[in-house]
């Protein structure tokens, strides 16, 4: 291990003077070679806990994650810092994977990100056995547990890696795990004398509110009026994301819709614009938010019930990352709960229907029986469902069960640029150039535009090649595909669709085997999760205490700021107008520690005086503010 302190790496590469809660303890544990399970909250900086050990060690850190977009984003960020990192995931060719694995063995990579389904190949096993691996980091570790809300059977393969590299410790990371999942993670990953590091799930600056309103649009509007900062509104359908975004924009609150059906480039542009505060409100499906760390999100609103408290708490936790007051608002009631129960029944279609979907997939991709193992395809869910007259919702449910049973995997939509790799030698390529003038002109064009074409796949832009060569996009694509089929080069077109991968060769659908015990177990657990949502919805005491109890964390102190706590204290629920005053008040005390009451009042308008005095009185009652020699001091 390096003699340089972890704090020095943190300052040098990330520009932070100190670690967040729990980070230093996790880093110390894994650098001592201890198997470690870290339960860090959403936005708690999980990635640093394996990235810094990677820099401290002399070998490689293997990171296993199911989130392709997050992997690509982290690899890009690491490369921008001068840290050598690569990622392997579904949708990549054999030659691309082979090159990256070679670099991991011989090329001095510090971090290699791998999606779990890519661990199943003989190639991966052979190369991983050759790697000098210091640490195995398992992100989203709850995916390994059948008790978890996002179980992925490919994660069960991770324990096998320990047999290939027995000396490397494992770091398992998750933001949400009930006690059964905590125990299951350690068991499935074969922890020996493992250590569990927890930071509290409690968010002292985040207030939870539940409103059962027939006019949800107006309720949403009320919470977003006088918004200072940003907001996320979560919905369950793509259409409603667009409808609500238009509804808000027409009423003076700029909003945009975000969902998985948008082209990847458009999603990236929307996310970046929102991050840069070009508009305040993102109305999104759950396709939005993973990896988002925006500081000034003041409110997260759920217009529908989520499938689990784990998912809800993770999404709600995107509010208030700056430590200032923030709200998590759930607009739901018994009607929504009844709807969730109906959706629950659709999540577990009969085996006959699942077999029909599998059989249709074989026809859709024109796969012969016995072929297709470890092969990825672009997958358009709506086109598939329409062509075979299926319900899209039930197709997704069938795919999830097929995935949990190990037959296939479905990854999220991720933008992958077109790539070109000159796999044959210059002499072989020259023979094609001599025979065909158009090929000669195209090859000379790409060689002028791009470096390293003989060494590895290089991202290319067809528009750029069109401008220089004078060829149309159709001509360029046709020539590249011809050379690809002739094994002269490898051409991968641009992709931005979800990837469906057959884990095993196509079988006769009637012969597919399913673990009915596991299916029944998963159904029972999902029923338990819906009951937990029901309990939270109808909680009579502190909302945050209810959530903490679900995650196995005892809390004797109510939050004193959720709707239930305020009702019990006989105080009206603060509305968003009050929130703006609270935020500005906290910012005031950040600029100067002590203020007289007169000085504070001069910073606010006369119309805000009543709110200001009430908030200061509340803070005084709660022990958050004190008076000393005529001046007010905020205790943080």
Q: In which order are the strands placed within the sheet that holds 625-628?
A: 594-595, 631-634, 625-628
Six token digits for residue 227 = 């918004």
Q: Select, from the ranges 67-76, 131-140, 438-447, the one with the highest average predicted confidence (pLDDT).
A: 131-140
Per-residue confidence (pLDDT) for residue 1, from 0 to 100: 58
Only one residue has tokens 């070998």, namely 59
pLDDT in tens, 321-356: 888 999 999 999 888 999 898 888 888 899 999 999
d(CA 373, CA 362): 12
Please choose, from the candidates 400, 381, 506, 398, the residue with its C-alpha nearest in 3D space to the C-alpha of residue 152.
400
Per-residue confidence (pLDDT) for residue 622, from 0 to 100: 72
Residue 387: pLDDT over 90? yes
* Confidence label for 278 from pLDDT (cuts 50, 70 and 90): very high
- Provide DSSP, 573-599: PPPHHHHHHHHHHHHHHHH-SEE-HHH
- Provide DSSP, 364-419: HTTPPTT--TTEEEE--HHHHHHHHT--HHHHHHHHHHHHHTTSEEEEPP--B--E
Enter the DSSP assignment of 197: E
Per-residue confidence (pLDDT) for residue 413, from 0 to 100: 60
Per-residue confidence (pLDDT) for residue 554, from 0 to 100: 75
Average pLDDT over residues 231-238: 94
Per-residue confidence (pLDDT) for residue 147, from 0 to 100: 83
Regarding predicted confidence, which is higher, 598 or 371?
Answer: 371
Per-residue confidence (pLDDT) for residue 636, from 0 to 100: 60
Residue 572: pLDDT over 60? no
Six token digits for residue 165 = 């590299």
pTM, entire model: 0.73
**3-state secondary structure (DSSP) of residue 128:** helix
Six token digits for residue 474 = 């159709």
Per-residue confidence (pLDDT) for residue 503, from 0 to 100: 86
Per-residue confidence (pLDDT) for residue 93, from 0 to 100: 74
Average pLDDT over residues 74-93: 87
Residue 456: pLDDT over 80? no
Residue 511: pLDDT over 80? yes
Q: What phi and psi, each to the nearest 5 degrees, are found at residue 379?
A: -130, 120
Average pLDDT over residues 136-145: 92
* Confidence label for 579 from pLDDT (cuts 50, 70 and 90): confident
Inter-residue contact 296 to 322 (CB < 8 Å): yes
Regarding predicted confidence, which is higher, 163 or 3?
Answer: 163
Please choose, from the candidates 176, 193, 188, 164, the residue with its C-alpha nearest in 3D space to the C-alpha of residue 35.
193
Alpha carbon 66 to chain centroid distance? 9
Regarding predicted confidence, which is higher, 119 or 508?
Answer: 508
What are the CA-CA distances from residue 281 to residues 221, 243, 249, 286, 556 (Å)?
11, 13, 9, 15, 35
Phi and psi based region of residue 15 (left: phi greater than 0; alpha: psi -120 to 50; beta: remaining): left
432 CB burial (10 A radius; 0-12, 13-18, 19+): middle
Average pLDDT over residues 303-317: 92
């Amino acid at each position: 291990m390096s003699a340089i302190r972890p704090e020095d790496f943190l300052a040098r590469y990330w520009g932070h003077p100190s670690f967040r809660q729990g980070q230093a303890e996790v880093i110390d544990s894994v650098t001592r070679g201890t198997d470690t399970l870290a339960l860090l909250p959403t936005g708690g900086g999980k990635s640093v806990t394996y990235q810094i050990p990677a820099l401290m060690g002399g070998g490689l850190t293997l990171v296993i994650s199911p989130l392709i977009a997050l992997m690509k984003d982290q690899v890009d960020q690491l490369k921008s810092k001068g840290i050598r990192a690569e990622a392997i995931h579904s949708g990549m060719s054999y030659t691309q994977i082979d090159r990256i694995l070679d670099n991991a063995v011989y090329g001095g990579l510090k971090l290699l990100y791998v999606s779990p389904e890519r661990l199943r190949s003989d190639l991966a096993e052979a190369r991983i056995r050759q790697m000098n691996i210091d640490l195995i980091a398992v992100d989203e570790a709850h995916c390994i547990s059948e008790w978890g809300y996002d179980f992925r059977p490919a994660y069960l393969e991770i324990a096998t890696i320990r047999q290939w590299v027995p000396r490397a410790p494992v770091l398992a990371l998750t933001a949400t795990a009930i006690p059964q999942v905590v125990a299951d993670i350690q068991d499935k990953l074969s922890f020996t004398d493992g250590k569990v590091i927890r930071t509290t799930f409690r968010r002292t600056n985040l207030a939870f509110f539940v409103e059962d309103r027939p006019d949800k649009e107006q309720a949403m509007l009320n919470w977003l009026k006088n918004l200072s900062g940003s907001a996320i509104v979560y919905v369950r359908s793509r259409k409603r994301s667009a409808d609500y975004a238009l509804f808000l924009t027409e009423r003076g609150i700029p909003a945009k819709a975000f969902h998985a059906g948008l082209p990847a480039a458009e999603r990236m542009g929307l996310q970046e614009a929102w991050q840069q505060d070009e508009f305040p409100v993102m109305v999104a499906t759950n396709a939005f938010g993973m990896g988002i760390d925006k500081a000034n999100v003041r409110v997260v609103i759920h217009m529908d019930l989520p499938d689990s408290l784990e998912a809800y708490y993770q999404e709600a936790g995107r509010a208030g990352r700056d430590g200032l007051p923030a709200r998590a608002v759930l607009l739901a009631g018994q009607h929504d709960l009844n709807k969730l129960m109906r959706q629950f029944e659709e999540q577990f279609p009969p085996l006959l229907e699942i077999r029909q979907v599998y059989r249709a997939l074989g026809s859709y991709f024109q796969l012969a029986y016995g072929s297709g193992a470890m092969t990825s395809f672009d997958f358009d869910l709506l086109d598939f469902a329409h062509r075979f007259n299926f319900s899209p919702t039930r197709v997704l449910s069938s795919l999830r069960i097929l995935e949990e049973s190990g037959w296939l995997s479905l990854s999220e939509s991720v933008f992958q640029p077109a790539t070109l790799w000159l796999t044959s030698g210059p002499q072989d390529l020259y023979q094609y150039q001599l025979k065909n003038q158009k090929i000669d002109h195209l090859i000379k064009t790409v060689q002028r535009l791009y470096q390293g074409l003989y060494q590895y796949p290089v991202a290319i832009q067809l528009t750029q090649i069109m401008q220089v060569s004078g060829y149309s996009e159709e001509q360029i694509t046709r020539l590249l595909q011809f050379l690809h089929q002739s094994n002269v080069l490898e051409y991968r077109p641009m992709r931005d669709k979800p990837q469906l991968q057959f884990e095993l060769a196509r079988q006769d659908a009637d012969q597919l085997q399913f673990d009915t015990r596991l299916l029944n177990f998963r159904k029972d657990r999902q029923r338990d999760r819906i009951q937990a949502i029901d309990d939270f919805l109808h909680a009579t005491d502190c909302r945050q205490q209810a959530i903490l109890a679900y995650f196995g964390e005892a809390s004797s102190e109510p939050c004193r700021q959720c709707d239930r706590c305020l009702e019990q204290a006989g105080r009206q629920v603060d509305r968003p107008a009050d929130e703006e005053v609270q935020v500005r008040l906290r910012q005031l005390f950040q600029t100067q520690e002590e203020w007289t009451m007169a000085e504070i009042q001069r910073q606010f308008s006369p119309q805000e005086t009543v709110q200001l005095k009430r908030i200061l009185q509340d803070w005084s009652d709660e022990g958050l503010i004190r008076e000393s020699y005529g001046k007010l001091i905020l205790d943080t």
